[in-house]
Each structure stands twice: as structure tokens, then as C-alpha cells.
Amino acid sequence: MMDWISVSLLAVGAVFTLLAAVGVMRLPDLFTRMQASTKSATLGVACMMMATLTHFGDLTVSARALLIVAALFLTAPVAAHAIGRAAYLRGVELWDGTMFDELREHREGRTSRTRGERGRGDAFDHEDEDLARAGELTGAGADRRR
């Protein structure tokens, strides 16, 4: 019985991890790829850790497996947030089909604008000035450090 639980957890974990890798290879831009890598891979590895827990059934091994899962669940979102924010601020391009860019709305102070008004063409129109803005803001920070 426990063996079958281990086998199914291993299989589910492997499928999730493989899906994460396929997503990282095939999805169109950095932010969607990050979606695949951070969520799906973390869940897959957590499933495999649960498989080791049920397979060995030892207290020390179980504690270690739970510790690894806790560490992954704590660190993966923080790392993804850090790299995503850094990439956005340095002007990495969003996918053409991106519908909402709430961080830009926030930074431009246009909070009164309703979300539904932003169409797909609109995202293109402001792209250049947004890149310039991002460069200007972070460039000012870089100058201050030098």
C-alpha cells in the first residue's frame, strides 16, 4: 500500500517537473516561463520529497524531507519575485499578448483608470516610453551608486 503511494507520488512529481521544463522551453516570454518554472517545478519536487517520506518511513528522513519542502516553498517565490522584478525594471520585453501590466499602472500613478480600458494595442503604444522610463529610473539609481 505504502509502495503504491510512493510510486504515484514519484510519478506525479516527475510529470510536474517535466511540464515545468517544457514550459520553460516553449512559453513566449520571461514572466510566463517563470510561472512554469517556479510553481510547477516546486510542486513536483515537493511531491518527490513526499515519496521519499512514505518510502523510508523513518522519523529522521521524514523530518529532513519536510524541511526540504518547507525550504523550497519559502525560497522559490522569493527568488522568482527578485529575478522577475529586476528583469522588469531593466526593460525585459513582455509578451505581445500581455493583457494587464499593473506594475506599470502603479508606477505611472494611473490608479483611477479601470483595467478594462487597456486594450492590446494600447500596450504597444506605450512600450517605448515605458522602456525609457525603466532605464531612466534604474539609471539614476546606478549613478547614485557610482
Partner 1 sequence: MSPFVVETAAAVVLAVLALSAVLAFVRIVRGPTLPDRVVAIDLIATVAVGVLAASAIAFNQPALLQPALVLGLITFLGTVAFARYVQRTGQR
Give backbone dihedrals phi and psi of 78, rounded to 5 degrees, phi first.
-65, -45
CB 69 within 8 A of CB 39: no
List CB contacts of 63: < 8 A, sequence separation 6 or more: none
List CB contacts of 92: < 8 A, sequence separation 6 or more: 29, 30
Nearest distance from C-beta of residue 116 to partner 1, angstroms: 30
Contact residues for partner 1, defined by CB under 8 A: 3, 6-7, 10-11, 13-15, 17-18, 20-22, 24-25, 30, 33-34, 37-38, 41-42, 44-45, 48-49, 51-52, 55-56, 58, 60-61, 64-65, 67-68, 71-72, 75-76, 78-80, 82-87, 89-92, 138, 141-142, 145
List CB contacts of 140: < 8 A, sequence separation 6 or more: none
Nearest distance from C-beta of residue 112 to partner 1, angstroms: 29
Q: Which is nearer to partner 1, 76 or 118 (CB)?
A: 76
Q: Which is nearer to partner 1, 76 or 123 (CB)?
A: 76
Distance CA 29, CA 10 (A): 30
Q: Which is nearer to partner 1, 11 or 99 (CB)?
A: 11
